[in-house]
Amino acid sequence: MSEAQQPHEPDYVDRGLSWLDHVLDIVHDKVLRPILLAGRIIAFGFIILVAGLILLTAVMIFLTRIINVYVFSGREWLTYLTLGTVSLVAGLVIWRKRRPVTLRK
């Protein structure tokens, strides 16, 4: 008998490695992927939060300087009173729109 005609024995190494590869794929899909996604969400959320705070600070500084120079020209207390009033009204509007946790659906 030649090699082509001999019965083919199962290759246990190939079967074992294929089973191990399948198990590792399942572990990656069920465990590691959600962990990686949660990490990305936390990291990008933190970056967006910091960028938003920096932008808000820059806008407030810009408004303070522009109002102080062009609107009230040297009367800082009017500038601070105006920006404080606008911030207070914005905060009250946001506070007014909030709802209890049970009604947020």
Query: Could you read off the pLDDT of 9-49 as tens digits, one per residue?
Result: 668 888 899 999 999 999 989 999 999 999 999 999 999 99
Q: How confident is the model at residue 8 (pLDDT cuts 50, 70, 90)?
A: low
Average pLDDT, the chain: 88
Length of the chain, in residues: 105
pLDDT reading at 67 higher than 60: yes
Q: What pLDDT does residue 19 have?
A: 92
Residue 75: predicted pLDDT: 86
Percent of the chain with pLDDT over 90: 56
Q: Are 68 and 61 within 8 A, CB to CB?
A: no
Distances (CA, A) of 17 to 8, 25, 40, 41, 44: 19, 12, 31, 34, 37
Helices (H) and strands (E) in the chain, counts: 3, 0
**The pLDDT of residue 12:** 87
pLDDT at 5: 65
Domain ranges of the chain: 29-103
